[in-house]
Amino acid sequence: MIIKRKQFLKISSLAAGSLLVPNFLHAFANPQENINNVNNNGRVLVVIQMSGGNDGLNTVIPIKNDIYFRLRPLIHIPADNAIYLTDQVALHPDLPFLADLYHQGYLGILNNVGYPNPDRSHFRSMDIWQTASDSNQYLNTGWLGRYLDTTCNNNCPLPIQAIEIDDQLSLAMKGHKQKGLAFLSPELFNSTTNKPLFKDLAKIYNPNNHEPEAINYLCKTFVAAINSAPYILKESKIKPTATHYPKSGIGNALKNIASLINSPIDTHVYYVSLGSFDTHVNQQERQKQLFKQLNEALAPFVSDLQANNRFKDVLIMTFSEFGRRVAENASKGTDHGTANTMFFIGGGLKQNGLINSVSDLGTLDNGDLIYQIDFKDVYATVLKKWLGIDDTKILNRQSTYLEFV
């Protein structure tokens, strides 16, 4: 059967939120029986993307540094409001749960993370972080997508190894042959794939037909979605959480992720975004709102993992595409900068607390922080030491490994 152009456009519009791996037609007959065969020792990575460029200096604060207060007379965090981690370093006042994790040994803080020749464009710098490219290199696959390519190697009948809680898939999750799943909730994903158009497409699709490549890809994509959705929904209901989560976007996302981590599903990577942290104007209020959401969502999430004995197997990692300028601007905000702070949360950390020194405000590059750690070394460490995969095949470089896992 040849699919008409009108049908193709309708199908394409529905596909926009679910970019799936086109490699699972053989699983269609009995999707529930096709459990993936990738051994990951039960470890899970949860990536929280702080979209927009979070201001790291008002997140992990050099609270006794006079330069910090001098260059930020209006937007600094007052010393009597900050949450002290040491006598020199403090956290933003709306991150009390992270401070609790710090003192319990479950939080690692990595400062001055960036890359050479930084780009201050949101889009370009986010591409660099998501693809793990050099600043002058352009890639069309993401570091986690290439992880899927390497890990699955045609051994994943269902595309469930990497899940993003969103209505579209990030570049980070797109590989050459494998891609993650993107949906807002297992219930919505399942109800969407039960629409008549999906079912009709699965019935009429024949890979031996000479359809255009794009149509074949979409058809395979929808068959993969139909296979995966009921399985994911079923797994998410095995251990439904009784923990109260906030009704925010990040709260709902982490609640869905917790239900899947606590189930037998074989998902290695979860991805969620929070933002926007692009605080050119009135930074204090915007950052306060976002950190409050993050803090209130992480508390029940960690509690869920601990109650189900999964916290030791889960690594939560935050990143943002760049930091902000050291000096405030004229609008009570900060402009695009360079190096930034990353958080690592989990019961399996080998290094916790302040993993390295805070930013040196006395030595700047034209008003910007100077990076000390290449983010690709962080990725390499996570891939090799946490997910147990050869990072050189994914990053195509020899990295310097860190010791936090």
DSSP string, 357-383: PPP-TTS-BTTBPPP-EEHHHHHHHII
Q: Which residues of 2-39 are buried (b: 16+ CB within 10 A; e: fewer)?
A: ebeeebbeebeebeebbbbbbbbbebeeebeebebeee
Confidence at residue 195, expressed as pLDDT on a 0 to 100 scale:
75
Calpha distance 142→133 (Å, rounded)? 9
Residue 205, domain member (yes or no): no
User: Residue 157: what pLDDT?
Assistant: 74
Token pair, residue 370, equals 């100077």
Quote the pLDDT of residue 17: 44
What are the DSSP E strand ranges found in 7-161? Answer: 44-50, 60-62, 83-84, 89-91, 107-114
Angle of helix 213-236 relative to helix 186-193, nearest 10 degrees, comes to: 130
Q: Average pLDDT for residues 148-154, to the nearest whole number?
A: 87
Instruction: Select from 165, 186, 182 the least CA-distant residue to 19.
Output: 182
In a domain, residue 134? The reply is yes
Q: How far apart are CA 294 and CA 401, in angstroms?
A: 28
pLDDT band at 286 (very low <50, low <70, confident <90, very high): very high
pLDDT computed for residue 205 by the predictor: 57
Residue 12: what pLDDT? Answer: 46
Q: Indicate whether 67 pLDDT > 70.
A: yes
DSSP element (H, E) containing 44:
strand 44-50
Chain centre to alpha carbon of residue 384: 18
On whether residue 79 sits in a domain, the answer given is yes
- What digits encode the pLDDT tens for the residues 109-145? 999 999 999 999 999 999 999 999 999 999 999 999 9
Q: Which residues contact 51 (CB under 8 A, 6 or more apart)?
A: 126, 273, 274, 275, 276, 277, 320, 321
**Top-confidence range, 18-22, 277-281, 357-361:** 277-281
For position 177, what pLDDT does the model report? Answer: 86
Stronger pLDDT, 42 or 73, i.e. the higher one: 73
40: its two tokens:
């990951």
Domain count, the chain: 1
80 pLDDT higher than 70: yes
Which pair of structure tokens corresponds to residue 179?
């891609």
Is the residue at 269 inside a domain? yes
- The CATH number that applies at residue 357 is 3.40.720.10
Determine the pLDDT at residue 201.
63
pLDDT in tens, 297-314: 999 999 999 999 999 999
pLDDT computed for residue 224 by the predictor: 72
d(CA 261, CA 239): 9
336 assigned to some structural domain: yes
Lowest-confidence region among 5-9, 13-17, 141-145, 317-321: 13-17
| Residue 281 reports pLDDT greater than 80 | yes
Q: What is the pLDDT of residues 17-48, one digit of tens each?
A: 443 333 333 333 344 444 444 445 789 999 99
pLDDT of 28 reads 39
Residue 5 lies in a domain: no
pLDDT at 10: 47
Tokens of 321: 């595409």
Query: Which pLDDT value is given to residue 16?
Result: 42
Q: Is residue 400 part of a domain?
A: no
Share of the chain above pLDDT 90, in %: 75
The three-state secondary structure class of 164 is: strand
CA 244 distance to own-chain centroid: 22
Q: Let me know if residue 220 belongs to a domain.
A: no
Domain that holds residue 322: 18-193+231-395
194-236 pLDDT per residue, tens: 777 666 666 665 656 665 665 666 666 677 777 889 899 999 9
Average predicted confidence (pLDDT) for the chain: 88
| DSSP 3-state of 50 | strand
What distance in Å separates the CA atoms of residue 14 and residue 309, rounded to the nearest whole number? 38
